[in-house]
Amino acid sequence: MSPSHPDATARGEQASSISNLVVKLAGEYTGRGPTRARTYLNDDLITVVLKDTLTKGERSLVRDGREEVVMSMRLAFQQTMRPDLIAGIEEITGRGVHAFLSANHADPDIAIESFVMDGSAQAA
């Protein structure tokens, strides 16, 4: 049996907390959160991959060839969510966010929220 790895456990809990934060905020801002989220922690980069993010109305617009409208609206939501996302990431990690980057894709329905960390712990 392998020994317990507290650092791995803590990173897993942190990744789960970040996924939950991003899903919760997306739901609060758009009326429907993604059904799947996975957070990847890599040194100074945190990336959250979200799947099944579009609302029924947005999916309908995409089917009707109005993808550009949906992508524009999603970008507006992400810019509006930015302060809450950054504050939540900083609270969970104890580190400052140097940059926030966000992207969406309609088919397949995937979004990515990325945070470049500044490398320093936040003052308590």
SS3 85: helix
More confident residue, 85 or 107: 85
Q: Which residue has the higher pLDDT, 124 or 120?
A: 120
Name, in order, each residue with C-beta under 8 angstroms of 103's C-beta and a sequence gap of 6 or more: 111, 112
Q: Where are the beta strands (DSSP E) in 8-109?
A: 36-42, 45-51, 95-105
98 and 63 Cβ atoms separated by less than 8 Å: no
> What are the residues facing 114 on neighbouring strands?
47, 101
pTM (2 decimals)? Answer: 0.87
For 72-101, the pLDDT digits (tens) are 999 999 899 999 999 999 999 999 999 999
What is the rounded radius of gyration, in angstroms, for the C-alpha atoms of the chain? 16
Which residue pairs from 80-86 have beta carbons closer than 8 angstroms and sit at least 24 positions apart in sequence? Answer: 80/29, 81/25, 81/26, 81/29, 84/25, 85/21, 85/22, 85/25, 85/113, 85/115, 86/115
Q: Give the mean pLDDT of the chain.
A: 91
The proportion of the chain whose per-residue pLDDT surpasses 90, expressed as a percent, equals: 79
At residue 5, the pLDDT reads: 56
Domains and CATH numbers, the chain: 6-121 (3.30.980)
- Are 40 and 67 in contact by the 8 Å Cβ rule? The answer is no
Q: Identify the band that residue 1 occupies on the pLDDT scale cut at 50, 70 and 90.
A: very low
Q: What is the pLDDT of residues 5-16, one digit of tens each?
A: 558 888 899 999
For 45-80, the pLDDT digits (tens) are 999 999 999 999 999 999 999 999 999 999 999 899
